[in-house]
Chain A
Amino acid sequence: MPGTASTPLRRSLLRRKVAERMFMALGLLSLAVGVLTLVLLFGRLVVEGMARIDWQFLTSFPSRHAEQAGILPAWVGSSLTMLVTALVGVPLGVAAGIYLEEYARKNWLTQLIEVTVTNLAGVPSIIYGLLALGLFVYLLGLGESLLAAGLTLALLILPIVIVATREAIRAIPVEIREAAYALGATKWQTVRHHVLPYSTAGILTGVILALSRAIGETAPVITIGALTFIAFLPPAPLTTDPPFVSFEWLLSPFTVLPIQMFTWVSRPGAEFLANAAAAGVILVVMTLAMNGVAIFLRYRVRKRITW
């Protein structure tokens, strides 16, 4: 401050202002560490892996020779697992969310359900793997199959879907329901024709986030015994013979993208690292794209609310 006398008060003010500036710099620096990591991580993957990504990489089976190896069974396995996960996890989670938000009375049972939902959200994913190993693989005899993996991940995403559904439903004003009841609609009609359609975007956001988490999960799928080297595809769901649909693929052994990447990272020798990076690029692009869609959806929903 030019031309001002340096009184003690002024000096103290100046000191505080400097401290404040320094703290703000520190805050920005901390955030930068996170953002920089993201940039570094993705940059490294792209630099190492981009050269490997081509048609051959996407359509080949893994191989002993790094240059011939591909991720065909991995992305097919990931897609089919996600299909099972979505078909099981989403209806179950949305239904549970509707029950808790619209139907549940306050009693010890709903209290118990609430507590378990909250706690399951904090259970490490590998514990779900152990659950699945004991229950799906051995007790129910599903074996190390796509079905077992899909069910495991469905349970894993259940709390996320439930919470998202409840939040989306809670945002709908009670007047909408009252108007429906006033016209003689039953509870389910109200939910089916009003509550659900209006909360679809919010629920969808949660579902996409949940699936993007599931597709990157490695530990529970390893735990149930997914293969790390697989040189075949699951049987096709559509056949040429009657009855034309086959569910054999559900019980087929499989692998998924994160496991394929994990196998390549942990192989001694450098020639497979490029493959790992390439698989990583595809995995990250998929999850970030899904997250991007979810974030965009949430933004749109927040903007479009008119009540």
Chain B
Amino acid sequence: MTEPRTETPALARRRRHRLHERLIEGALFLAALASVATTVTIVAVLLYESVGFFRTVSLKDFLTDTLWTPLFADPRYGILPLLAGTLVTSGVGLLVAVPLGTVAAIYLSEFAPARLRELIKPLLELLGAVPTVVYGYFALLVVTPSLQVLWPDLPGFNMLGPGLVIGIMIMPFVISLSEDAMRAVPMTLREGSYAMGATRLQTALRVVVPGAMSGLVAAYVLGVSRAVGETMVVAIAAGQNPSLTWNPMEPAATITAYIVQVALGDLPHGSIGYQSIFAAGLVLALMTLLFNVLGHLMRRRFREVY
């Protein structure tokens, strides 16, 4: 004889609790899904508008034409000039950030007294926190004029100045990632090296750096990704004229600078000019995705070594 169990207050409370718990877990889960939704939406928006773009422009023109003038009366849609500008500014940036960042990271990880390290790390973080528009001001009004003292015929807009500034900007990022990689090299390797009579410098350069190599490379690759996506410095100081040149002393536009330039004007929604920024954005997104994946693969490899 089973009678329906009468619901005691305790039982009711427990049921209420369980429902409550379910609801909360559901809400938290939805919040976690926001990142997936964001990613999906980014891809969807870029693809949707780019499809419209590629209905007008052939992929071949896009990839091979050497002129980018979507807003002119005679529009041309070759991404190469923007790509060249992006690569040159990022390249200059890397030429600054990689050597300076690596040497600084080796110094911080292997040589610096603990107190100096504690002091310098927050300072570097501040360097990475300065708004990029301020760096743009710095590139245009401090760095370029200083460079013009050395090369008087350097134009006011050029890729060298902003490139150097981008390098300084991503340096803290490179330093902190490389330092992490070098700290992950086990102490026993260093001790082995010292036991053989090696100096600290020899140990650093021949044991620690090779041991952390994939981590270092990952830091550089992620640094490239940042440099490629950097916007305000180049938009302010590199010029807005897309031209296919590999000479950092000349002005040029990057992918990001082009998007800013167009967004500042008032382009009608759905026009080819409007779509062109999404096509350019798609190229940028693909490039950074490539670098990010590459960087993460390298980091994972270096994690597996020990």
- Is B232 interfacial (CB 8 A cutoff)? yes
- The reply to whether B42 and A96 contact each other, CB–CB distance below 8 Å, is no
Residue in chain B with minimal CB distance to A277: B137
Q: Flag if B107 contacts A28 (CB, 8 Å).
A: yes
Contact of B260 with A27 in the complex, beta carbons under 8 Å = no
Q: Among the interface residues A26, A34, A159, A283, which one has the most CB atoms of the partner chain B within 10 A?
A: A34
**Contact: A287 with B131, CB < 8 Å?**
yes
A228 interface contact, C-beta 8 A: yes
Q: Is B269 interfacial (CB-CB < 8 Å)?
A: yes
Identify which of B38, B100, B103, B292 gathers the most chain A CB atoms within 10 Å of its CB.
B38
Within 8 Å by CB of B133, from A35, A120, A218, lies A218
Q: B149 in the interface, Cβ–Cβ < 8 Å?
A: no
Residues of chain A lying within 8 A (CB to CB) of residue B136: 262, 265
Residue count of chain A within 8 Å CB distance of chain B: 87
Q: Which residue of A lies closest to B204 (CB)?
A: A23
A283 / chain B contacts, CB cutoff of 8 Å: 131, 133-134
- Residues of A close to B129: CB separation below 8 A: 209, 212-213, 216, 287-288, 291
Enumerate B257-306 residues with CB–CB distance to A below 8 Å.
259-260, 263-264, 269, 277-278, 281, 284-285, 288-289, 291-292, 295-296
Residue of B nearest to A291 (CB): B129
Q: Which of B25, B201, B231 contacts A124 (CB 8 A)?
A: B231
- Within 8 Å by CB of A116, from B36, B48, B106, lies B36
CB of B28 within 8 Å of the partner chain: yes
Q: Name the distance in Å between A249's Cβ and chain B's nearest Cβ.
A: 23
B28 near A103 (CB under 8 angstroms)?
A: yes
CB distance from A260 to the nearest CB of B (A): 9
Let me know if A131 is at the binding interface, CB within 8 A. yes
Would you call A19 an interface residue if the criterion is a C-beta within 8 Å of the partner chain's C-beta atoms? yes
CB of B63 closer than 8 Å to a CB of A: no
- Determine which residue in A35, A212, A219, A295 has the highest number of CB atoms from chain B within 10 A of its CB, and name it: A219
Would A20 and B132 count as touching, CB distance under 8 A?
no
CB <8 Å contact, A95 and B231: no
- Give, as a whole number of angstroms, the nearest-CB distance from A206 to chain B: 13
Main secondary structure of the interface of B (DSSP, over half): helix
Known: A119-B39, A120-B39, A122-B292. A127 touches B130 (CB 8 A): no
CB-contacts of A149-195 with B (<8 A): 155, 158-159, 162, 186-188
CB-based contact A265/B131 at 8 Å: no
List the B residue with the shortest CB-CB distance to A137: B269
State in angstroms the CA–CA spacing of A24 and B108 once bound together: 10
- Given A20-B201, A134-B278, A216-B132, the answer on whether A38 and B127 have CB atoms closer than 8 Å is yes
Q: Out of A123, A135, A213, A225, which one reaches B285, CB within 8 Å?
A: A123
A10 smallest CB distance to B (angstroms): 14
B124 contact set on A, CB distance < 8 A: 31, 34
- In the complex, the answer to whether A135 meets B41 with C-beta atoms within 8 Å is yes
A236 part of interface (Cβ distance < 8 Å): no
Q: How far is the CA of A84 from the CA of B24 in the complex (A)?
A: 23
B134 neighbours in A (Cβ, 8 Å): 41, 45, 216, 261, 280, 283-284
| A131 CB contacts on chain B under 8 angstroms | 38, 41-42, 45-46
B125 at the interface (CB under 8 A from A): yes
A283 to B27, CA, bound (A): 36
Contact of B228 among A19, A124, A125 (CB under 8 A): A124
Let me know if A11 is at the binding interface, CB within 8 A. Answer: no
Binary interface encoding of chain B residues 247-264 relative to chain A, with 1 for a CB under 8 A from any of its CBs, else 0: 000000000100110011
Q: Which of B28, B130, B142 contacts A98 (CB 8 A)?
A: B28
A297 interface residue (CB < 8 Å to B)? no
Closest chain A CB from B269 CB (angstroms):
6
What is the CA–CA distance of A40 and B138 in the complex, to the nearest angstrom?
A: 9
CB distance from A44 to the nearest CB of B (A): 6
Output the least CB separation between A141 and chain B (Å).
Answer: 11
CB neighbours (8 Å) of B112 from chain A are 27
Judge if B20 is at the interface, Cβ distance under 8 Å.
yes
| In the complex, A129 has a CB within 8 A of chain B | yes
User: Is the pair B34, A96 in contact by a Cβ cutoff of 8 Å?
Assistant: yes
Asked whether any CB of chain B lies closer than 8 Å to the CB of A53, the reply is no
A-B contact pairs, 27 of them (CB 8 A): A16-B199, A20-B200, A23-B103, A27-B107, A27-B108, A38-B126, A41-B134, A41-B138, A44-B138, A96-B28, A104-B32, A112-B36, A116-B39, A122-B225, A126-B229, A127-B284, A127-B285, A129-B263, A130-B277, A131-B46, A186-B21, A187-B21, A215-B131, A216-B130, A216-B131, A218-B131, A287-B130
Closest 9 CB pairs between A and B?
A: A27-B107, A124-B229, A216-B131, A95-B31, A134-B45, A99-B28, A30-B104, A219-B231, A122-B292
Q: List 17 other contacts, CB 8 Å, given A24-B107, A92-B34.
A: A27-B103, A31-B124, A37-B127, A37-B168, A93-B31, A124-B229, A133-B263, A135-B41, A158-B34, A158-B38, A188-B20, A218-B231, A223-B277, A258-B232, A265-B137, A273-B141, A287-B131
